[in-house]
Structure 1
Amino acid sequence: MIRAIVVDDEKLVRKGFISIIEWSAFGIEIIGEAGDGRAALELIREKKPELLITDITMPGMSGFELIELARVILPNIKSVVLTCHHEFDYVHEALRLGAIDYIVKTLIEMDNIEPIIQRIVDRIRWENEHRRSEPTVQSEGFQSALVLVPEVVTEAGTIVSLPPSVQGEFIELECGYRMLPLSYLKSEAQLEREAKIRLTEGFRTVHVTGLVGQQLEDLRSVLTERLPDYLFYLSESDKAYIQVPYTEMGKMQKADERIPELEQYWQQLKWAFFHVEWERFTQEIERVRPSSRSITDFAEYMTAAWLARFGWLEENHWLFMNTKQYRIWKEWRSWFREASMIIQTRTEQLEISKEVVLSLVKAIRFVYERLGNGITQEEVALHVNMSRSYFSQCFKKFVGESFGDFLRNQRIEDAKRLLGRSDYGVYEIASMVGFEDEKYFSRVFREKVGLLPTEYRANSRKTV
């Protein structure tokens, strides 16, 4: 039996349509009905029908949208549209989206509906038999795979339609991609045309080739681990359709062991001031190819530790509001270039030399690393080879507050983090952030935060 559901927002029409046909005589079982698209999707998820019969014009979600979303859930589901005579032009759109037939509601009579239902049943059976006769992943292996890469912002249940030249069900990968192994492919050019038309809404389409002899689980693992970063550095990865040879991904080496070394250099910020260092910064990234996550983490560090901390974002907030939109290195490279220009402009406004700014950056990083110790301004000035008085003058101009205030504020921020995320006692946290006296720590904390450490901890845990 072909399991089917009927969807129409007009209850009388829906009930009448279901009752006028002897469905069992055609090998069809009506397993459910719905009055709108949302309810229909729930039915589809729950009962997994083979046939969807739907009205086109419905409130909330149209029949077109329902057909496409149904194929996200069940790629092999067949659809038939119900239409009125004045909606006939819509039928062409439904057929383009994969509907196999249509029924004109105003012309339904017993003597004409039965041939239509039989035609629909014959079409479904023919397609099912044709699909069973094709090579399958399990029996014949696969030659390539279609991978859908979501764009930066995608809603749950993003519409995805299979192109007509391929069949199967997508496999979810841990990286958020969807993979469809292909046991054979009639035409690469045809797939590219179809993919550009049918799969680009919210996704980029990647055709991974050269998979003969690969095991499915190995493929899943390699695509999950390597494809995101391969695409991240690919110069054409912003295109809607990309072909990727599997062997190219196999050449990629993990850069994890180089990340700490790279980050130490990145954080010096020399690349933001000097052309030679900028070239080194970008070329080293493109040669080593650290993960996209490492690049994103460093950009967030830049924003939090430098650009936002010193008020440099006020006139340039547009650059930092939507960093999640950057999905490839080419875009991030532009981001870092813009960030370097902001840093240089700010440096010129402060009338401090690049060399002094880099020394102050080094000093601040030194403070961050030793907040829990009894660090002094003299010690920091010595570390960056500056006199105490000149260091004090430049530091206040650069940071906007004296070294002593900066040090206390950083210690209080560290204490807030520990109070919210750990179970250490207040006296332990005071010592950990560099205060020798618990009472003095509590007094300074209250002056800065407006609450005692115990009160702050209680409030922070209420909001978790």
Structure 2
Amino acid sequence: MYKLLIVDDEPEVTEGLLEEIDWTVCGFSGVWSAGNGREAMEMFEKTEPDVLVTDINMPYMNGLELAEWAKKTYPLTRIVILSGHDEFEYAKQAIQLQADDYLLKPFSDDQLIAAIRETVRRMDEERERRSNVELLQEHYRISLPILREKFLSSLVTRRQSRLAIRDKAEKYGVNLDGRSFIASVIGVQARENDDGENGENRARRPKLADDLDLMLFSVSNVAEEIWFKRGLGRAFIHQDQVVLLTVSPHSEASRAMEETQDGLKEILQSIEKFLALPIAIGVGTLIRDIGSLKSSYQAALDALDYRRIVGAGRIIYIGDMESIEEKLTFDEAKERSLTRAVKVGSEEELRETIDALFGELARIQASVQVYEVYMLEMVTAILKLTKDIQGGSDELFGGGVSLLNQYRKLNSVEETKAWFVDLCVKLRGRIASGRQRASKQIVEEAIAYARSNFQDSELSIAKVCEHLHISAGYFSGLFKKETQMTFGAYLLQLRMEKTMELLRTTNLKTFEIADRVGFSDPNYLGLCFKKYAGQTPKEYRAGLPETSG
């Protein structure tokens, strides 16, 4: 069922349409009416109708202006235009506004019902198309390989929580259940034009080597087939390279690396034999946490750089080229992950992030000095977050010096972890509380601005948001959440209260009051006041008790 708003400045028209037509049968659960464009705008905020039926010629705001506003503010609204003028210019504007129908007055109930039913039919079709589960599943099935490839690429470009990876892997049908992981990179490179190359060599050279995209596709196909056959993991294209992800069930590093190397040898031989392409393969470090795959991938890229020294046609393991003793470091990615968890993550995500950070302490053997640096960098990251909190670290933790003193008094990793978790949970709560206070402050500033500027007939949400330096969409939701009314409704209420005050305390005429409370049209003030107070301004003033001289 849908909602309908009928707008016409002739009461007999709107009343007749509301009474004579069974709108429930037409598919509407709610039907409202308005006498002009401005009144319709207020009704929109309250009811958010699916269909707008509007006359063109109306006071304060004509139907075409209303339709234009509705399309901009509520773009899903369907529009039917009513007009007493058979003029091409009106019809042209209606077409530009993407009106669903254009009816000339006088029209019969049957004509309007037919137009409305056709509009409802189109809405039903659109709703069916957007909610058709089979169709959505088919689109998802077609898009799944792209989504899966984007997900795999994200694993080598940024650190992610294990929970997020597990959820996405399950969603995209990617098995990442393993005890150890290795990233390898196949480097392919299209040949540049060589003017010195003779025609015979150029003729013998495979055309494949001239097209990088075709090379990547061909190499990826070979690699994926072999990787899948051996049950080693996943192969995908990322930034003009083919990345191989080893997902090993073995905890022994030697066995996982041996199986990876065997698979890479078969890939190298197959590409040389069937594609005749000059490639090299870089192999990264073995890691235990899939969330840290980026470090293994980076090591594989570093290994691939050594092909300039050892030549193409080789599998280059970074451990053979450099000393790769795993180091305990609190890098930029880890700081970003911790900061995000504290600022916007759930408490569960925060605890999981901290578990991963302390998990590295248990896994990597490090000196006391390295351990101290690691922990101090984590504490410093938390102190940075307190800069913008009212009272800062002094109020929350007793100051930076005190915080470090607290840390130095801890006697074990377990104590340190419990202390750090408590620290982060407190900070997360304070940030959330501060965000809520900031929301209230924004609304209070908006109300203060409205009370100082309600006399401006051009005052609008756009002006308020420009003053507050926030977006209209964000402000509208915030204001309604805090006050239980829209900003437009609040502004109208404020102006009505000020009108009542002026009627009680002055002898100003209605047109003078209109100017003082932000109405450019006194008649529109009268219309709004009667709707608000149940009587005209004149009747309201006449009903006031007389004050003795």
Q: TM-score range by the shorter chain?
A: 0.3 to 0.5
TM-score w.r.t. the length of structure 1 is 0.33
**Bigger helix fraction:** 2
